[in-house]
Chain A
Amino acid sequence: MVAVLDVADVSKRYGAKLVVDKVSLAVSTGECLGIIGPNGAGKTTLFNLLDGSAQSDSGTVNVAGEDISRWPQYRRARLGVGRAYQVPRPFTGLTVYENVLAGIEHSPVAGARPGRRALEVLEKVGLADKRNMIAGRLPLLDRKRLELAKAVSVGSKVLLLDEVAGGLTEGEVFELVEMVIQLKREHAVLWIEHIAHALMAAADRLLVLHFGAKLIEGAPQEVMSAPIVKEVYLGISVDDAAGA
Chain B
Amino acid sequence: MSTFLRSGLALPALGLAVVAAALILLPIDRRLAMEVLLVLAMAQGWNLLCGYTGLLSFGHHAFVGLGAYVLFMTVNTTGLSPAWSILAAALVALVVGLGMWALLRKLRGPYFSIGIWVLADSLRLLFAQWEWVGSSRGIVLNPMSIDASTFADTVFYLALGLALVTVLGVFALLRSRTGLALMAIRDNEAGAASVGIAVARNQLAAFLISAVVCAAAGAIYYLSVLYVDPSGAFDIDWQIRVLFIVIVGGLGSIEGPIIGIVIYFGLRELFRDAGDLFLIFQGLTAFLVPLIMPGGIWGLIQSRTGWQLFPTRRIAQ
Contact = CB atoms under 8 A, between A and B. Distances in A.
Interface in B91-148: none
Contacts, number: 94
Interface string A198-215: 000000000000000000
A89 B197 CA distance: 14
A74 B317 contact: no
B194 A89 contact: yes
A223 B79 CA distance: 81
B294 to A, nearest CB: 13
A72 to B, nearest CB: 8
Given A53-B190, A89-B190, A90-B187, A98 B314 contact: yes
A106 B195 CA distance: 7
Interface stretch (B175-183, B212-220, B262-270): B175-183
Interface in B278-317: 313-317
Given A106-B197, A107-B196, A131-B316, A101 B191 contact: no
A154 B196 contact: yes
Contacts of A132: 315-316
Given A97-B316, A101-B180, A106-B181, A77 B188 contact: no
Contacts of B191: 85, 89-91, 150
Nearest to A100: B195
Nearest to B187: A91
Among B188, B196, B313, B314, the most chain A Cβ lie within 10 Å of the Cβ of B196
Q: Is the interface of B mostly helix, strand, loop or mixed?
A: helix
A72 B200 CA distance: 11
Contacts of B317: 115, 119
Nearest to B180: A102
B106 to A, nearest CB: 14
Contacts of A151: 194
Contacts of B190: 53, 89
A84 to B, nearest CB: 9
Interface in B168-226: 177, 180-181, 183-184, 186-188, 190-199
B197 to A, nearest CB: 5
Contact of B314 (A73, A74, A75, A97): A97
Interface residues of A, number: 36
Interface in A68-121: 72-75, 77-78, 82-83, 85, 89-95, 97-99, 101-103, 105-107, 115, 118-119
Contacts of B183: 91, 93-94, 98, 102
A115 B252 CA distance: 24
A197 B316 CA distance: 37
B273 to A, nearest CB: 41
A107 B195 CA distance: 8
Interface of A: 51, 53, 72-75, 77-78, 82-83, 85, 89-95, 97-99, 101-103, 105-107, 115, 118-119, 131-132, 150-151, 153-154
14 contacts: A73-B194, A74-B196, A82-B195, A93-B187, A95-B313, A98-B314, A102-B183, A103-B196, A105-B177, A106-B196, A115-B314, A115-B317, A119-B317, A153-B195
Interface of B: 177, 180-181, 183-184, 186-188, 190-199, 252, 313-317
